[in-house]
Amino acid sequence: MRHVATSDRNFYDRYYFNVHDTSGGLMMLVGLGQYPNLGVTDAFAVVRRGPWHRVVRASRELGANRMDTRVGPFRVEVVEGLRTLRVVLDETEHGLSFDLTWDASIPAQLEPPHHIRWQERVVFDSRRLAQTGRWTGRIVLDGERIDVTPDAYWGSRDRSWGIRPVGEPEPPGIQVKNAGTFYWVYAPFQFEDHSVLCILQEDEKGRRLLEEAVRVYPDPEREPEHLGRLDYRPVYAEGTRDVVTATLGFHPPGGTPFEIGVTPVLPVHLMVGTGYGLEPDWKHGMYQGPETVVQGVAYDTRVPEDAARMWGMVDAVARYEYRDGSGRTGFGLFEYWALGPHPTLPE
């Protein structure tokens, strides 16, 4: 989008992908965004394997050609619209590269609008489409080639656009009085013959700001099943807001309520090093200068100083199990964050 309908500096347009094996041994997140009102495009990849959290990121001036998705060693190619995409990170000095093709398992689903006004300012006004899929290709990590095959490597992707905080810090003004809250769960996951897409956000009083739950089948002629009000019941590790297990409860209109259990297997801290807001010198849409910049950072979670960095939004590989005695088990993303007060959380 070259000229967008708003002059809000925070307008963005972004790809997001996750890649994980069904054993939970590896998870990688990839993003590529354009910020038309800031004149910047950037990209990142973060991979978690064992104790290592490794990030490669790049930024350049956006220019006029919005079809050029190259950002240094990164690029996204649309092979077949809404069906097949190729995601590439060429070899760099930072120990991570990949060439991966993503094939959709289900038709793309348009999620509800995400609109939040905080202290009179609109801070979120965005839309997103989401899909589950399978991966083919290769990942090279510290010289080791990992063959990626669709039987073992699943994932999901979204494409979002609109307004959300990006770029250089703004004067806080009244926002300094209260930074707000963020009680959130986002769970797109798949079984062999269908997928379930869940999204939920509540405010500090437990009021719902965003909510949807649908069951989607590969056949584009089959209507998605709306699963009614979503119940989200996490169990936290003592003294933390790290989710150990969770229950998702569904209430299909006119149907029988059911539950799916969630077990996070491998956490990835989405906000660490990737531009989502923790580093003052690298945020999505932040201008890094006239030349393309490519950086790499790596953390070892066995080191206390590095482990202390791991907070904020978590994108975990999770195992999902129907609690109906059928034994049906699936895998997918379990993204969660509980920031600030909420009725279900201790003071």
Average pLDDT of the chain, as a whole number: 96
For 154, phi and psi rounded to 5 degrees? -110, 180
Q: What was the pLDDT predicted at 208?
A: 97
Q: What was the pLDDT predicted at 176?
A: 67
Rg of the chain taking only CA atoms, in angstroms: 20
Residue with tokens 């002059």: 7
| Beta carbons of 49 and 96 less than 8 angstroms apart | no
- What is the mean pLDDT of the segment spanning 31-40? 98
For residue range 225-282, what is the model confidence (pLDDT) as tens digits? Answer: 999 999 999 999 999 999 999 999 999 999 999 999 999 999 999 999 999 988 999 9
Cα gap 232→344, rounded to integer Å: 11
- What CATH code is assigned to 11-162+179-339? 2.40.370.10
For residue range 185-210, what is the model confidence (pLDDT) as tens digits? Answer: 999 999 999 999 999 999 999 999 99
Q: Return the percentage of the chain with pLDDT > 70, whole number.
A: 99
Handedness of CA 174, 179, 183, 189 (dihedral sign): positive
- What is the mean pLDDT of the segment spanning 51-75? 97
Report helix, strand or coil for 306. Answer: helix
Statement: the pTM of the whole predicted model exceeds 0.95: yes
Between the CA atoms of 92, 94, 95 and 101, what dihedral angle is there, to the nearest 10 degrees?
Answer: -60
For residue range 171-186, what is the model confidence (pLDDT) as tens digits? Answer: 878 776 776 789 999 9
